[in-house]
A = this chain, B = another copy of it.
Amino acid sequence: MTRTLSTQEKPPTPRERARAQTVADIIRLGREHLALHGAAALSLRAVARDLGVVSSAVYRYVESRDELLTLLLIDAYGELGDQVDAAVDILPEGDYRGRFLALGRAVRDWALREPSSYALLFGSPVPGYQAPAERTTGPGTRVIYRLVGIFDAAHRAGAMAAEPPSAVVIPPALARDLHAIRHELGLSVPEAVLARGVLVWTSLFGAISFEVFGQYGADTFAARDELFEHQLAVLLGIVGL
């Protein structure tokens, strides 16, 4: 199966080709505006100007400004996922620590390179905009699935401490959630480790968000690379890897 865009596998007509090209141009220009001015300032009229067309014309291709935001959201999730996959895949499957570090660095590098896109994905929600779950959950779960995949593989290989250091009791309600996740994803890691994995996940993005969103202040931390590396190292220890 190569493509499942439509029921019939007709080759695209010239019209369809031109239309797809225009939509691609709109997304490209939207990304530029997003990078320059941020998500909440994204203007369909400005995109139309750059496209050399009157503002109402873009509505032929994009339903609304929110629709364009959704397209940019999916685009950004895809790019982040690709970056993470590329960074992880160059390391051998058994190098669990290396793969975790590569994942963390890939996310941070991308976030620092595309702060507006990162803000769109992981920052405050854009007012009046609700991402359609049916179109964004798929691309939006690539990084976390990759992360738990690394943890699970490490656990299966016996490279991970079966019980986390200094065990913390997990209340039943939380255990139920974790059990459901384990079951749904077919994981073998015990729930206590999975819980730590969730903390590592949120902590990773917390550290990156602080840096991208300027919470560290202007000059408190000069050695940000080293700080992040240290944080990754400690997080490795948390999950027992």
Which A residues are within 8 Å of any B CB, using their own CB? 37-41, 119-120, 122-128, 133, 137, 165-166, 168, 170-171, 173-174, 176-177, 181, 195-196, 198-199, 202-207, 209-210, 213-215, 217-218, 220-223, 226-227, 229-231, 233-235, 237-238
Q: Assess A177 versus B40: contact at CB under 8 Å? Given A168-B234, A214-B125.
A: no
With A166-B237, A171-B226, A205-B206 given, name 13 new contacts (CB 8 A).
Answer: A38-B127, A39-B124, A40-B126, A122-B215, A123-B213, A165-B237, A168-B233, A168-B237, A173-B226, A177-B221, A195-B234, A199-B203, A199-B231
How many whole Å from A102's CB to the nearest CB in chain B? 18
In angstroms, Cα B174 to Cα A229, docked, is 10
Closest residue to A203 on the B side, CB-wise? B203
Q: Are B124 and A234 neighbours in the complex by a CB distance under 8 Å?
A: no
In angstroms, Cα B235 to Cα A120, docked, is 28
Closest residue to A231 on the B side, CB-wise? B199
Q: Are B173 and A222 neighbours in the complex by a CB distance under 8 Å?
A: yes
In angstroms, Cα B218 to Cα A137, docked, is 10
How many whole Å from A45's CB to the nearest CB in chain B? 15
How many whole Å from A116's CB to the nearest CB in chain B? 8
Ordered by A's residue number, 24 sampled pairs between the chains whose C-beta atoms are within 8 Å are A37-B127, A39-B127, A40-B127, A41-B127, A125-B213, A133-B218, A137-B217, A165-B166, A170-B226, A174-B223, A174-B226, A174-B230, A176-B223, A177-B221, A181-B220, A198-B227, A199-B203, A199-B235, A202-B210, A203-B206, A206-B206, A206-B207, A206-B209, A234-B238
Which of the residues B122, B133, B171, B173 comes within 8 Å of A213, measured between beta carbons? B122
In angstroms, Cα B170 to Cα A170, docked, is 32
In angstroms, Cα B124 to Cα A38, docked, is 9
Q: Are A170 and B230 neighbours in the complex by a CB distance under 8 Å?
A: yes
How many whole Å from A59's CB to the nearest CB in chain B? 22
Q: Assess A125 versus B119: contact at CB under 8 Å? Given A230-B170, A234-B168.
A: yes
